[in-house]
Amino acid sequence: MTSTTGLFQLFLSSLLSRSAMGFFLLLFLCCAVLFFKCRGRSLLRMVSGLLALVCLVYGVFILFLVFAFGHSDGRLTERSGEVVEWSTDGDTSLSSFVVQTEEGDRFGVLMTGQTVVLPSDTLSAEDFLRQPPEGVVVSVLGKKGRQTLTAQDGRTLAACSAERVSIVGQVTQNVFPLSDGTEVDLIQYGSALFASNLYRLRDGKQLLRELPPSGPENVAVGGVAGFDDLPPAAQAAVSAYYDRRGLLYNIKQQVEAAYQAYRTDPDSLPFHVEQSISPSAASSRVLYFLTSVTMPGGNGSGKELRLGDAFDRETGARLPPLTLFSLPPEQVPEALVSLSKPENDTLHAEMLAAFRPEYLVFFPEHLELNFPMGTLPSQEYDYIAALDYTPQLTALLQSWAIPLDN
């Protein structure tokens, strides 16, 4: 036997079907036309007006349903942030908590019997459910809905029922002070998907995100021989060289630069710093790598440091850049700067004065002679001269150093 509620639901679903919506829209248009065209026929005008009114009421009803229940469709959404407060169910297990996103927004999370908690390397699911430690950062996959959660300060927050909670990081306060004594907080994201260090002020203003360094291992460039093409002994030698060299930036200095940019322009977006190493070219005997370091610039924009390295493909020994040329080492700077054809004598002199062998980066199509921001007084930004492998350039190089494509 069909219940009254079931009959009502059946009737409601029929009204909300696409065919019903199309029918009422067509009926409304026809009745509206008849209403304005049948001015001399009062009965037809009255009937068409009533039917148009019914269709209009139906449309208002549909709009009401959209606004009232449009966000209760059960779709999943994922957001992340720091757990700033929490409550337990009978002092035994976590029942709900409040998350503050990187942007400063807050939302509630409701735990259910089906919620899955994925631990991190340093925090187990059991410890999290017992009592989330101060500063823990999570990623929450939950169902959209019209649920709410009352925070400890009395505010009503939008909330979601969590299907999955992933422990992804940790907040550490006062990791170091800036030049004016302002303390900086650090959010360390440890999971593979989120891995990074985010430096921020106490009020939540993000200054700088530090991405994990990459390469030379596990980095490939299409069409270029790479780290995996080296014999094991050469791989070990290349890795050892880059391990000894380490990071080419000081993180405190980079955060300070981002902070000064923020003080100049409070609306500035957060900077990021990243060091990556990737293969750039190869010859019969040499494998070339590019080290790229992206960091905050002095004028509120970002800047990039680009350095080249050359390694013997058999032994992995690093080859000094100037030994790749057939000229005497002291003649290489003048020869390359002249080939780049600077636009004036001032720039020519600046390039010679700022030249460093490590500024040479070999690519299959060209040799890059680059100068980072600040090294050339007449140039506001980074300056790069790309020299094609013309006969004039290849005549300067050792034959075994010329990339294979040339």
pLDDT in tens, 111-153: 998 999 999 888 999 999 998 998 999 999 998 778 899 999 9
Residue 17's pLDDT is 56
Q: Which amino acid is at 89?
A: D
- For residue 358 the two structure tokens come to 């490590």
State how far the alpha carbon of 155 is from the alpha carbons of 25, 27, 148, 152, 255, in Å: 42, 47, 10, 7, 34
Pick the closest to residue 337 from 356, 362, 320, 319 (CA basis): 356
User: What average pLDDT score do residues 262-288 get?
Assistant: 93
What is the three-class DSSP state of 63? helix
E strand or H helix that includes residue 106: strand 106-110
Higher pLDDT, residue 5 or 339: 339
Is 299 a residue whose pLDDT tops 90? Answer: no
Phi, psi of 285 (to 5 degrees): -125, -15
Residue 210, beta-bridge partner list: 197, 273
Residue 4's pLDDT is 37
Whole-number percent of the chain with pLDDT over 90: 64
Question: Tens of pLDDT along 4-40?
Answer: 333 344 444 455 555 666 776 777 777 777 667 776 6
Cβ neighbours around 92 below 10 Å, total = 9
For the domain spanning 76-173, the CATH number is: 2.40.50.140
Is 279 a residue whose pLDDT tops 50? Answer: yes
Residue 21's pLDDT is 67
CA-CA-CA-CA torsion for 228, 209, 81, 131, nearest 10 degrees?
A: 80
Q: Which amino acid is at 129?
A: L
Q: Which amino acid is at 59?
A: G
Is 249 a residue whose pLDDT tops 50? Answer: yes
Query: Domain extents for the chain?
Result: 17-63, 76-173, 209-401
Residues 6+ apart with CB under 8 A from 1: none
- For residue 137 the two structure tokens come to 């950062």
User: What average pLDDT score do residues 291-315 get?
Assistant: 88
**CA–CA gap between residue 343 and residue 156 (Å, rounded):** 64
Phi, psi of 33 (to 5 degrees): -65, -45
Residue 60's pLDDT is 74
